[in-house]
Each structure stands twice: as structure tokens, then as C-alpha cells.
Amino acid sequence: MQSSKQINIEDKIFNLKDIKQLYPAVLVKTGHGDETTEVSLEWIDIESKGRVEIVGYGLFVRMGEEEKHSFVYENRETLDKVIAQVARAINH
């Protein structure tokens, strides 16, 4: 019996079969107090044109309707490194 493939993000271990969504996004301020929302990296690169305040760059793991893990980083370079590590783990 083959064991389930796992990935490690920071100090958390996830079974790939349990992950419903795994995606990167940028956290930006909504303009309502400290409220933030997620937008795609593509939108930031193409559409934002500096009009939004970036709070952080994140990798998000959704396990189901209620369970979501967020890993937020100060800069895009750190996020890109984490994405590369996760991709290597998935493809290994």
C-alpha cells in the first residue's frame, strides 16, 4: 500500500489527498479599517498599477469549507521560494 504524499509548509504537514485548494495570493487592504482581501498575483502584476496597499504575500491551503491555513510573507521573493519548495515536494 502506497502512503499518501505529504507536503510541509513551515511547521505544518499536509496530506495532498486532503487539500481541496492550494494557491498563492496577495493580501491587500480593502480600505475599511484593517480589513484585507486576497487578490491574485496576476492581478497585482497586471492591473493594480500601485493603486492598492499590499499587506503581504501568501500561500493558502484550503482543506474543506471551514478549514483554511494561511502562510503570509513580507515579500514576493519569500513567497516564490516557498512555492518552489512545495512544487518540488509535490513533484518528487
The domains of the chain are located at: 6-91
DSSP, res 19: -
- Beta-strand runs (E) in the chain: 6-9, 12-15, 21-29, 36-39, 54-62, 68-73
The pTM is what?
0.87
Alpha-carbon Rg for the chain, nearest whole angstrom, is 15
Q: What is the pLDDT along the chain (92 residues), one digit of tens a residue?
A: 456 799 999 999 999 999 999 999 999 999 899 999 999 999 999 988 888 999 999 999 999 889 999 999 999 999 999 999 999 999 88
C-alpha closest to that of 86 among 3, 5, 2, 8: 8
